[in-house]
Amino acid sequence: MKILVVDDVEDARIYLERGLKSQGYTVMAARNGKEALDTAREWKPDMIISDILMPEMDGFELCRIVKADNELKRVCFVFYTATFVDKKDEKLAMALGASKFVIKPVDPEEFFKIVKGAIDNHNEKNLPVPESENANKEELLLKYSESIAGKLKKKVSELEKEKEATQLLLQEVYHRTRNNMQVICSLINQQSEILKSTEAQKAFKKLENRIHFMALAHQKLYESQNLNKINMKDYITDMTTTLLKGYHKRAAEINFEFSLQDIFMPIDEAIPCSQILHELVANSINHAFPESRNGVIKLCLLNTEDGGIEIRVKDNGIGFPQGFDIKNTKSIGIQTIISLAEYQLKGKVHFFGEKGVDCKLKFKKKKPKERV
């Protein structure tokens, strides 16, 4: 006895396939009605056990086509579903020529008895005759359309509720991540206050700032309507304002110029970009304009013609020290920039230091991934 199992849910399909094989049946499986129909025409099963709501072709349509096919119409057809549970759904299934209509879940032993009973009827040539052969086809089609439309509407509503719940959960995750980072910043700040070494205090302050601006990225996600992406234009303007406040003595001496396109980045691009931007801007504020010199820091963010992204940070300060070697520098900031650019963003970063410091980063956009 050959049985074809049809279900778009892999776990359910495998579970049913293994159970039937344990009873001595020869079993094949399909993921939807279209795939099942192709398999049935080639393999000629004795029975089809099918779910109803599936992509490409649903179970009702599969049953209708099978029962209208001269070579397949005597195949025993059993519906096994958890979605279509109304009496009118069962009535439609039987009208299409199904032998049984089984609602999940069912005890395995009970289900195997149902299968055996349907097979016994099959062997006795006692198969139901579809109403389409005896009754008004338009009425049957109307029943089918109403049933499918109702279930699809219900399914869409369920998916919308699931998406809303997932969005709320993600917002909570971003919110807690940001709060945890702020706690870490506070702990670092408290620890730095008891240090006597000025250099150690500066190192702790840099670490605190790095974590703070990672937290800012999560804050932007928490506030965003789209939990998958960050508006980097908004992030950069907020970052520079916040960063300059930390150097309040320089606020009147340093100006920012922006050339920013509206570019949205996923979190796994936005975080390394935010770290790179923080390192570059902080470096310019700290080192480009000694002795209270006035200066300008330009920030650019744009889409490139080849489908990539370009980020540029340029100041009109004193530039790199004479003999400065980017490749062999021991600066943690520059090492961090190069590492993030090449290994996380898979891009290229170039430094120019003749008239101030000019850093240009280019990388390819990743293919979008929906997380919600």
CB-count exposure of residue 145 (10 Å: 0-12, 13-18, 19+): exposed
Q: Decide if 39 contacts 63 (C-beta within 8 A).
A: no
Cis check: omega of the bond before 290, within 30 degrees of 0? no
- pLDDT score for 353: 73
Topology of domain 2-135, CATH: Rossmann fold (3.40.50)
By C-alpha distance, which of 186, 193, 68, 181 is closest to 133?
68
CATH class of the domain whose range is 228-372: alpha beta
- 221/229 Cα distance (integer angstroms): 7
- The b/e string for 47-67 (b: 16+ C-beta within 10 A; e otherwise) is bbbbbbbbeebbbbbbbbbbb
By C-alpha distance, which of 88, 25, 92 is closest to 58?
92
Q: Spell out the residues 6+ positions from residue 117 whose beta carbon is closer than 8 angstroms to its own.
A: 100
- 67/61 Cα distance (integer angstroms): 10
Strands (E), 251-347: 254-260, 264-266, 295-303, 308-315
| Strand, coil or helix: 79 | strand
Q: Decide if 217 contacts 268 (C-beta within 8 A).
A: no
Q: What tokens were used for 46?
A: 């004795």
- Per-10-residue mean pLDDT, the chain, length 372: 93 92 95 95 95 87 91 92 78 88 90 90 63 52 60 68 66 64 72 76 70 65 64 85 70 85 86 86 85 89 92 91 79 85 90 85 75 45
Q: What tokens were used for 350?
A: 């170039």
What is the biggest distance separating any 2 CA atoms in the chain, rounded to whole angstroms? Answer: 101
- pLDDT score for 371: 46
| Strand, coil or helix: 307 | coil
Residue 288 pairs in a beta bridge with: none
Q: Decide if 99 contacts 78 (C-beta within 8 A).
A: yes
C-alpha angle 348-349-354 in degrees, rounded to nearest 5: 145
19 to 30, 82, 120, 200, 314: CA distances (angstroms): 16, 18, 19, 66, 67
CB-count exposure of residue 109 (10 Å: 0-12, 13-18, 19+): exposed
